[in-house]
Structure 1
Amino acid sequence: MSSILETLFMIISAVELIVGILGNGFIVLVNSIDWIRNRKVSLIDCILTCLAISRICLLWVIILNSRLNVCEILFYCRNTVALIFQDLWLGSNYFSTVCNTCLNVFYFLRIANFSNPIFLWMKWRIHRVLLIIVLGPTFCLFTCFLLNETLLIKLWEDQVNMEENTTCIFVRNMYAFMTSQSLLGMAFIFLFLVSLASFLLLILSLCNHTRQMKLQGTRSRGPSTEAHIRAIRAMISFLLLFVVYYLSSSLMVLTHGITHSVMAKMSANVLMFFYPSFHSLLLILWNNKLKEASFCVLRKLKCAWNQGNPHSHKIP
C-alpha cells in the first residue's frame, strides 16, 4: 500500500512540476516576445516576468530538496553544497514572495479608488513604492546570508566537540542561528502583511464603488467593477496558496527533524508545488494578454493535431 501511495505522490509531483515549468515559462516567453517586438515593457509585464523566473528557480530548488534531503545534510554534516543550496532556497523564496507582493500592491494602486492624499501620493509614485518594497526586506535577507554560513559551521563544530563540555557554546550559537532565522521570518511576514493590507483595502474600494453605483441607479457591472473582482481573485489565490506553501515548508522541516516519515515528506512536497505551479495558471487566466496568447497557442496546437491526424475528425 505504501509503495502505491509513493508512486501516486511521485506522479502528482511530476505533473505539478511540468505544469509549473510550462506555465511560468509561458509567461516569460510571451512577455519577452512582446518586449522584443515593441522595444518596451510595461510595469505589470516586468513584475510578472520576474515572478515567473523566480518561481521556475523555486520549483527546481524544491525538486533538489526532495531528492537530496538537504535539510538533513544541513544539520548533520558540513557540506558546502548544502550551504549553497540553502542560499538558493532563501533567495528563490524571497524573490518569489517579493514579486508577488509587488504584483498585489500594483493591482491595489492601479485599480482602487480613494481620495486619501497618502493613497494618491503612492499612486502617482508607484515605481518608488515598489522599489521600497523590494529593497526594504532585502536587508534582512542579505544579513541572513552573511550570518547563516558562519553560525552553521560553528554549530557543526560544537556538535563534534560536545564531549568536551561545550554545551553552553552550542546553545549560544543555536540561539544566534534561530535569531537569524527569525529576522528572515520577519521579512516574509512583512511582505505577507503588505499583500493582506492591499487585499483588504481593495475590497473596501470595491464596496465604496458598488455603493456609489447603487446611489447612481446603475445595476450592471462596469469595467472598474470587473477589474476589482479580477484583482481580488488574484490576491485571494496568492494569500491562500502562500499560507499552504509555508505550512507545507514547516511540515517538511518537522519531518526531517522529528518524524522522518516518508509519507509526510512526500505529502509536504505535493503541497509545496501548488504555490509556484498552479498560481501561474491563474495569473494567465486573469491577464488578458496572456489569456489571448494561451488560446492562440491552443488553437495552433489543435490545428497541428488535426493536420497530423487526418482521420481524427472523420466520423466512422
Structure 2
Amino acid sequence: MLPVFVLASVVILGATTIMGIVTNSLIVVVNVADKIKGKSFNPSDLILVTLGMSNITFQFTMTVNDFSIILWSDLYFSDAVYGTFKALLYSTIFASFWFTVCLSVYYCLQIVIFTHPFLVRLKLGMSRLVPFFLGASVFTSLVISIPALWSIYKDPQNGNFSSNQSLKIELPKLSAVYLFSSNIIGCSLPLMLVGISNSLILKSLISKSTMLEKNKSDVYSPRTEARERAARTVGCLLLLYMAFYIFQILMFINFFPPSSPGFCTCLMAIYVYSPLQSIILIFGSPKLKKTLLNLLGFLKKCGNEQKETPKILFIKLRVQRTLNCKES
C-alpha cells in the first residue's frame, strides 16, 4: 500500500493538473478564437497565449515526471531519463518565468511615461518586438536547461535492508554549479525584472492619482481602470512568483527531508503555481474573465436543470397514475 504522503501528492497533482490544463486552455482557446474571427490580436494577447501554452506544457511535464518517480522509479533514476526529465522540466519553468517578464515589461511600458530616448523607442516599437522577446525567452530557457543532461553526478546513499546488511544506492543529482548558475539566469534575474516593472508601475499610478487629487478631478476613465487592472495583475504575479521561487530554492537545496511537512508544503506550492497563475491572468483580462463567468454560469444552469428533471418526471407519473385510478 502506498504511503499517505504519496497518495495525497497524487491526488493533489491530479487535481491541479486538470485545473491548470482547463484554465490555461481557456486562455489559449479564447484568444485564438478571436484571432480566427478576425479580431485584433494585440501583443498582450500573444504573450497570454504563449504563457498559457507554456503552462500547459509545464503542467504535463511535471505530472509525467512525478508519476514516473512513483511508478517507475528504477527507470526514472537512470542517468539518461533523469537528465532528460530535468531538462524538460526546467526549460518549461524558466520559459514561464521569462514569459512573465515579457508581460510585466509590456504592461510597464504601456503604463509608465518614459523620457529616455531608448525607452521611448522601445515603447513605440514594443508591438513589433514582443515576438522577438518571446523567442529570446524560449532560446534562453533551452540554453540554460540543456546542460542539465551532462550536469549529473551520483550521490551514494545507504539503504538498510536488515540489521546486518546495507546496500549503497547511487541516486543521480544535478551539480551545485549547474543549479546555482541556472537559478541565477532562469529564476533570480526574471524575478528581479518583474519586481522592477511592478515598482515602476506602482510609482506611476501613485503619482498619477496624486495629480488627480490635486486637480480635484473625479474622472475615472477606462484607461485608468485598465492601468490599475494591469498593476494588480503584475503585483499578484510577483507575489506568486516570489512564493514559487522560495519554495523552489528550498527544494533545490534539499532543505527539508522527503515526506516531511515542509517538503510536502513546498511540493504543493509548486503544484498549484500554474493554475494560480492562469487564474490571475484570467481575472486580469476582462475578456477572459467574462468568458470564464459565462462558462461557470452555463455549467451551473446545466446542473440545476439535471436536478429539476427527476422532479418533473415524478410529478408527471403521479398525475398519470391518479388519472388511471379515476378511470378504473
Q: Which residue does the alignment assign to 1:99?
A: 99
Summarize the Cα distance change of 1:69–1:246 in structure 2 as closer, same or farther, 3 Å threshold: farther
- Where in structure 2 are the equivalents of 1:235-274 lying within 5 Å? 235-255=234-254, 259-261=257-259, 263-274=261-272
Residue in 2 that maps onto 1:166: none
CA RMSD of aligned residues (A): 3.5
- Partner residue of 2:87? 87
Q: Does 1:193 align with 2:189?
A: no
Question: Paired residues, what number?
Answer: 293
SS in 2 for 1:93: helix
- For residues 84-115 of structure 1, the C-alpha deviation after alignment (integer angstroms, 9 at most, x for no partner) is 21111111112111111111111111222344
Q: Which has the larger radius of gyration?
A: 2
Deviations 1:5-35 (Å, cap 9, x if unpaired)? 7655554443332221211111111112112
- Structure 1's 310 and 261: CA in aligned 2 closer, same or farther, altered over 3 A? closer
Length-normalised TM-score, structure 1 = 0.78
1:81 Cα deviation after fit: 1.9
Please say which of residues 289-298 and 45-54 is displaced more in the overlay: 289-298
Q: Does 1:151 align with 2:151?
A: yes
C-alpha distance in 2 between matches for 1:280 and 1:105: 18
In structure 1, runs of 5+ residues without a counterpart are: 160-173
Which residue of structure 1 aligns with residue 283 of structure 2?
A: 285
Gaps of 5+ in 2: 157-172, 316-328
Counterpart residue type for residue 288 of structure 2: L
Summarize the Cα distance change of 1:265–1:308 in structure 2 as closer, same or farther, 3 Å threshold.
same
Conserved in 2, the CA contact under 8 Å of 1:6 and 1:263?
A: no
Q: Is the 8 A contact 2:105 2:194 kept in 1?
A: yes
- 1:206 corresponds to 2:208: no
Deviation at 1:312, TM superposition (A): 8.5
Distance 1:137 1:37, change over 3 A: closer
Contact 2:88 2:145 (C-alpha < 8 Å) held by counterparts: no
Residue 115 to residue 224, structure 1, CA distance change in 2 (3 Å)? farther
Q: Shift of the alpha carbon at 1:193?
A: 1.5
The aligned runs of 1:98-137 (5 Å cut-off) are: 98-127=98-127, 129-130=129-130, 133-134=133-134
Q: CA deviation at 1:311?
A: 4.8
Structure ranking higher in helix proportion: 1
Question: Using a 3 Å threshold, how does the CA distance of structure 1 residues 14 and 45 change in structure 2: closer, same or farther?
Answer: same
Give the secondary-structure state (helix, strand or coil) at the position aligned to 2:308.
coil
- Give the equivalent residue in structure 1 for 2:29: 29
1:299 aligns with 2:297: yes
* Identity between Structure 1 and Structure 2 (%): 22
- 1:196 CA displacement: 1.1
Which structure has more relative contact order (CA 8 Å, sep 6+)? It is: 1
CA 1:95 to 1:24, structure 2 compared with 1: closer, same or farther past 3 Å?
Answer: same
Would you say the 8 A contact 2:24–2:55 is kept in 1?
Answer: yes
SS in 2 for 1:259: coil
Question: Which residue is 2:160 aligned to?
Answer: none
**In structure 2, C-alpha distance between the alignment counterparts of 1:66 and 1:251, rounded to whole Å:** 18
* Local SS of the residue matching 2:151: helix
Residue in 2 that maps onto 1:221:
220
The structure carrying a bigger strand percent of its residues is 2
Paired letter, 2:191: F
CA distance in 1, matches of 2:213, 2:234: 25
TM-score in terms of structure 2 length: 0.75
CA deviation vs aligned residue, 1:248-273 (integer Å, no higher than 9, x gap): 22333445x87233544432221112
Distance 1:136 1:304 in 2: 44
Shift of 1:197: 1.1
